[in-house]
Amino acid sequence: MMIKFTLTLLVVVLSFSPLAQAGESSHAVEKQNWGFNGPFGTFDRGALQRGFQVYTQVCSACHSMKYLSYRNLSDLGYDESQIKAIAAENTTIDMNELDEEGEPIERPMRPSDAFKNPYKNDQQAKYANSGALPPDLSLIAKARAGGPDYLYGLLTGYEEPPEGVVLASGQHWNKVMAGNKIAMANPLSDDVVGYSDGSPTTAAQYSKDVSEFLMWAAEPKMEIRKRTGIKVILFLLVFAGLMYAVKRKIWADVKK
Ligand code: HEC
């Protein structure tokens, strides 16, 4: 009886947890076999580093990631000096540091700076992209139903439009984008980014890696959350058993 109750409770708790809902996706999105799926899933550091490389070399030309600072990259396995070097590849105009004439100085970026925004403001971003605003990618993996599956589907979902469909200039056909029309041209093709770890340099591999990277960016504490969840469930199971023993002991005389 008690065991049945505990198991039912466990099933109910698990099916309402965000873990179970994370896989939910819109119609055309195929689920991928991510290493970070499931209650024991973790991110693959190699894939995260490759995904960051794809973001830096391709996506960051148009998209910002304003909620990430370079120092957050320590999660990906980079050490302090590597992070300093990565940050210093970019410069920023620092309003708080003035030269002797009182003009803000341009300086190399530091680990505490947010990722460089390719545009000065949204107006400039829209103007450069024929009126379409490239969204900030910090939280995009959480902002779209299907999360990383959707992102992978989007990046691999460019096709010729079906017969009879006429696209306005600057529009592209994508099988998973809402309404199938997207103002972003296919950003990836084979061999546009060189990998140093021997992973295949295909558009599909880039899409997979950058989707995993964007998932990490949107939920950097996922691994800790899952570990805590497992500990809590284990504690509750032990506690339920203990309480059952106590209950039996207290009621033992009454029942007889
Ligand atoms: C040349 C500029 C450019 C590049 C490079 C680029 N994008 Fe985009 N992206 C855009 C624009 C513009 C939009 C807005 C499209 C729209 O609203 O139709 C967009 C939209 C998106 C969206 C949102 C789609 C949705 O569901 O609304 C995602 C996700 C995205 N881009 C990811 C990426 C990734 C990942 C890369 C790198 C592999 C990348 N983009 C490279 C310009 C770019």
27-82 confidence digits (pLDDT tens)? 579 999 999 999 999 999 999 999 999 999 999 999 999 999 999 999 999 999 99
Structure tokens at 185: 């041209």
Give the mean model confidence (pLDDT) for residues 11-25: 54
149: which residues sit within 8 A by CB, 6+ positions away?
23, 25, 29, 30, 31, 32
Distance CA 96, CA 55 (A): 29
Of 64, 181, 184, 186, which is best to mutate to test ligand 1, by the most ligand atoms within 8 angstroms of its C-beta? Answer: 184
Instruction: Supply the pLDDT for residue 24.
Output: 39
Given a cut of 50, is residue 21 above it in pLDDT? Answer: no
CA nearest ligand 1 atom 37, residue: 59
Instruction: Supply the pLDDT for residue 25.
Output: 37
Taking the domain 25-68+114-220, which CATH number applies?
1.10.760.10
Instruction: Supply the pLDDT for residue 14.
Output: 66
Say how many Å lie between the CA of residue 95 and the centre of ligand 1: 29
CA nearest ligand 1 atom 11, residue: 134
CA nearest ligand 1 atom 27, residue: 177
Q: Is the CB of 29 under 6 A from ligand 1?
A: no
Structure tokens at 72: 């957050």
pLDDT in tens, 84-137: 999 999 999 998 889 999 999 999 999 999 999 999 999 999 999 999 999 999
Is 57 or 253 the better-scoring residue by pLDDT?
57
Determine what percent of the chain is predicted with pLDDT higher than 70.
Answer: 92
Q: How many CB atoms lie within 10 A of CB 28?
A: 14
DSSP type of residue 121:
S
Of 57, 63, 173, 213, which is best to mutate to test ligand 1, by the most ligand atoms within 8 angstroms of its C-beta? Answer: 63
What are the residue boundaries of the structural domains of the chain, listed by start? 25-68+114-220
Say how many Å lie between the CA of residue 154 and the centre of ligand 1: 9
* Average pLDDT, rounded, for the chain: 92
Given a cut of 90, is residue 235 above it in pLDDT? Answer: yes
What length does the chain have?
Answer: 256
Say how many Å lie between the CA of residue 224 and the centre of ligand 1: 30
Least confident of 17-26, 114-123, 166-175: 17-26
